[in-house]
Amino acid sequence: MTTKHTLTCPCKSGKTLDNCCKPYHDNTIDAPTAEVLMRSRYSAFVLGLSDYIWRTWHETTRPDLEILGGLGLKWIDLKIISSEVESNTDDTDTIHFIASFVSGHKGKTLDEVSSFVKEGGLWYYVDGISSTAIISRNDTCPCGSSIKFKRCCLR
């Protein structure tokens, strides 16, 4: 018996997990764009799907599966800032995103400009230039709840 996931997809698309990132995670279909791959990778970090993250990382830059980072964090939000694909036939893309997370008792944002490449019809994450910043306890929570961070996702 298969289980249907009615929860909202972590990638912030507004769709259910089954109708969004799960088919990519299950290797049922391939991500048609770098942005879709980026969103599905974020969801994989939220869900702890290390095999998917590793499989979608370009072989020239991927870490060993055993040292893959970011899986123990509590990921709480994703915002795509921009995608710089030149055309539908372009095999490279650059995506700027901001992801928020909790590590220990601290909230942080990861601001990254990521590079993606399409090889053999499949998109792969190559690398990124990133920085992190602290989320203040009194800031509005990045999850969109409109309440203070300390009373929401920091708990």
DSSP track, the chain: -PPP--SBPTTSSSSBSTTTTHHHHTTSS--SSHHHHHHHHHHHHHHT-HHHHHHTB-TTTPPPGGG--STTSEEEEEEEEEE----TT-SEEEEEEEEEEEETTEEEEEEEEEEEEEETTEEEEEEEEEEEEEEPTTSBPTTTTSSBGGGTTT-
CATH of segment(s) 22-151: 3.10.450.50
* pLDDT tens, N- to C-terminus, the chain (155 residues): 445 557 899 999 999 999 999 999 999 999 999 999 999 999 999 999 999 999 999 999 998 877 777 788 999 999 999 988 655 567 999 999 999 999 988 999 999 999 999 999 999 999 999 999 999 999 999 999 999 999 999 98
